[in-house]
Amino acid sequence: MKICMVAEGCYPYVVGGVSSWIHSMIRSFPEHEFIILAIVADRETGGKFKYELPENVSAVYEVYLNDDDWGKENRKRMSKKEYEALRSVVVNRTPDWEGFVKIISKPDFSYNDLVMGMDFYEAVKEAYSQKYTDVPFVDFLWTMRSMYLPLILVMSSKIPEADLYHCVATGYAGVLGAMAKMKYGCKLLVSEHGIYTREREEELIKATWVQGLYKDIWIDQFKKMSQLAYDQADVVTSLFAHASELQQELGCDKKKLRVTPNGVDASRFADIPQKTEEDKAYVNIGAVVRVTPIKDIKTLIRAFAYAKNRVKNLKLWIMGPCDEDEEYAKECFDIVEAMELEDVVFTDRVDVTQYMGRMDYTVLTSISEGQPLTILEGFAAKKPVVATDVGNCRGLIYGEGDDYGQAGILTHIMNVEEIANAFVALAMNPEMTKQMGEVGYRRLIDKYLISQMKDTYKEIYDRLSGE
């Protein structure tokens, strides 16, 4: 079977998280051929792979959210039927996506003709007159053009043919998967690690580049895109029960939903290096993270500084790439220097199995997560975790349907004091730390092994290919 894995902003260009999951999935099914349909920012990003592709990956196709210059006004008009399809996408909450896809699929289609044409102008003017007249129309028009251009660029890209499309999010990836189903009559599987619509909503609420009611317009757009993916999908998976409930709230048919937890290969951590003589002088805290804002490394560093005032032999290891957001990484380095923290080590990307055994416990201070693989890898090495209450971190620490006990300490996001107190509590109670690590290991073996994840997806792949 040929499976097209559709991913936005991750594999094979970014290390960790969803990318690690995709890489693991492809390697778990060597009997299937995979092609990658990767959505990236622009052509400068293209081709810069961070992973060595498995042998069963036959091709990588790139789709760009930003591409050629555009902006020349066009006066070519649509037919009445085409205009109604365009209008439904711009104005309505229930778009005629199939009609819109037909417009974009025409041999002579031009995204510039569409976005700069009079028909788009008229549709935007109608949307404006309904409820947006408090803002200048010119600003509204250019916001709508900027919002629809990346969507139209994605939709007008070449979609390779496959037997099954596996989208690793809704959003732009889900739109491409939905278009593939319309075009080829294939099966569509959508797997959400975080809930895409909610994540974009959180980002937009905090964003400074968009203000006022324009935040709501962008949020509504992402909701419409996700609804398209939910409607067209044959199966929609999530990592834990609460995420599945959110998908249902956002409009996904309950009959399509399936909970499929992450899984790791525990055998990789069976005989890993333990503490060196130098390590034994420290309480080592391990953060296996990309140095990016969503991981909130600044809060992590500040919490470590406060904890170190109370436990002098704490040492923080930040193990992950620093090149994804170089400006943010420099800000983190500057904080470490300004606070004169000698025992903070940035390792950049490493083989986690060579470090995890040397840690006393792990930490994750993210402001958004799904079901973090780094926590599961820590559990495989019998290391408890200090984690913020995002995604499924609560379920991993306290358990869902088991009575094993507590496998770490849960904190609120961006709460320096709580995180620092958790660091101190584990550092001062080595027996408790060891016991929590054992609980995490038992929970992992019970529910979060890669073999269990593979069996679940094998059943889904086989059923969809059989249908």
What is the dotted CATH code of the domain comprising 266-448?
A: 3.40.50.2000
Provide the whole-model pTM. Answer: 0.90
Q: 10: Cβ–Cβ under 8 A, 6 or more apart, which residues?
A: 17, 18, 19, 22, 168
Distance CA 420, CA 411 (A): 10
pLDDT in tens, 59-90: 999 999 987 666 666 667 899 999 999 999 99
304-345 pLDDT per residue, tens: 999 999 999 999 999 999 998 999 999 999 999 999 998 999
CATH architecture classification, 1-263+449-467: 3-Layer(aba) Sandwich (3.40)
Structure tokens at 349: 């990307």
> pLDDT for 245-258, tens place per residue?
999 999 999 999 99
Question: Which pLDDT belongs to residue 72?
Answer: 60
Confidence class for position 206, pLDDT limits 50, 70, 90: confident
Residue range 181-198: average pLDDT? 95
Q: Domain map of the chain by residue range?
A: 1-263+449-467, 266-448
Taking all residues of the chain, what is their mean pLDDT, rounded to a whole number?
94
pLDDT digits (tens, 9 = 90+) for 115-151: 999 999 999 999 999 989 999 999 999 999 999 999 9
Q: Look at the alpha carbons of 233, 455, 389, 270 in this order and tell me if their dihedral is positive or negative.
A: negative
The answer to whether 367 touches 294, Cβ cutoff 8 Å, is yes
Residue 131 and residue 133: Cα distance in Å, rounded?
6
How confident is the model at residue 68, as a pLDDT? 65
3-state helix, strand, coil in the chain (%, to 5): 50, 15, 35
The mean pLDDT of 185-197, rounded to a whole number, is 95
